[in-house]
Amino acid sequence: MTQRMIEITSPVFFPLPRDPQPGADLAALFPEKQPLVLEIGCGIGDFIVQLAARRPELNFLAIDIYNKGCFKTCNRVERAELSNVRVLRAEARYLLTHYLAPESLAAIYINCPDPWPKKRHRDRRLVRREFLQTALYYLRPGGDFYFSTDFQDYAEDVAALLPEMAGYVNVLDRPLVTELPGYPLSKYMRRFLQQGQPIHFIHYRRNPQLAPETIAPPAIDPGFRLNWRRVEHV
């Protein structure tokens, strides 16, 4: 079933150009030249508005594959009068490999992505080895990688995978935690916490000593949503 597309006319929304521009300077979308941070899956914008308000010295790209999520995020950003957030409708892997330059991100945040709980769908999960390697290529030295999920097995899989990957260092004293002081909680997170369901947090960082030439450029991978730019499914 195809969902009706909402026209987004917000000044903080920027449609991606149809012709990919590898290495494009998306930092130019902002009035101030500041370190660039990416939130993948902004949902209704609750998390990004909190974070951007706390960190005015950073610029934030908030992306979501769903038109409605982008629309709601834009509304929240405008109401908060934030000049350091720009919203784009994009699939994460496509955005990274087509529109961003290597080592251009100060941080990547991924909060409660689709867990694809059925075993036969696990290969549809975003945060797997291939994606983590891609993220490493676009994080600057010392750049932060944050991941949270309400699904314990997803958290455990990612926590087991990251130590095997050269280039990442754990910022925490454990593989994962269920509390991360100072971390903004989205409406989705708060709802599950109120129900007694924990949120699992992971915080790694790109090793500042990692030589750029040791990271191979990622393969272009749009994921399983091959038609994401043309159609949106409920």
Rounded to 5 degrees, φ, ψ at 71 are -60, -50
d(CA 167, CA 104) in angstroms, rounded, equals: 16
CB atoms within 10 A of CB 71: 21
Helix (H, G, I), strand (E, B) or coil at 47: helix
How is residue 63 written in tokens? 């992306």
Residues annotated catalytic, as ranges = 114
In terms of C-beta density within 10 A (0-12 exposed, 13-18 middle, 19 or more buried), how is residue 170 classed? middle
Cα dihedral sign, 132-137-138-144 = positive
d(CA 46, CA 187) in angstroms, rounded, equals: 6
